[in-house]
Amino acid sequence: MLDDPVRRRPGVELAVVREALRRQVEERPGGIEVTVRVRRDRLDLFARLMVPYLPNSSRTTARARG
């Protein structure tokens, strides 16, 4: 922390900057695609822990069982 006061550039409105940052965060594409390798002896544990957080979890569970 500095004792120096914060100075905004002329013409910059905090509300406008905040709104632009909010839109960037909320409107960005969601999710990423990930490929995971799991040892066969840990597959059941992985499925129990992670499937609730994955899209298409019923498909993932079926693949995990196979």
pLDDT at 51: 82
Per-residue pLDDT of the chain (66 residues; tens, 9 = 90+): 889 888 888 999 999 999 999 999 888 877 777 888 999 999 999 988 988 877 765 554 545 555
DSSP conformation letters of 20-60: HHHHHHHTSPP---------GGGHHHHHHHHGGGSTTHHHH
pLDDT at 66: 52
Residues in the chain, overall count: 66
8 A C-beta contact, residue 28 and residue 15: no
Q: What are phi and psi of 21, to 5 degrees?
A: -65, -40
pLDDT at 25: 86
pLDDT at 58: 54
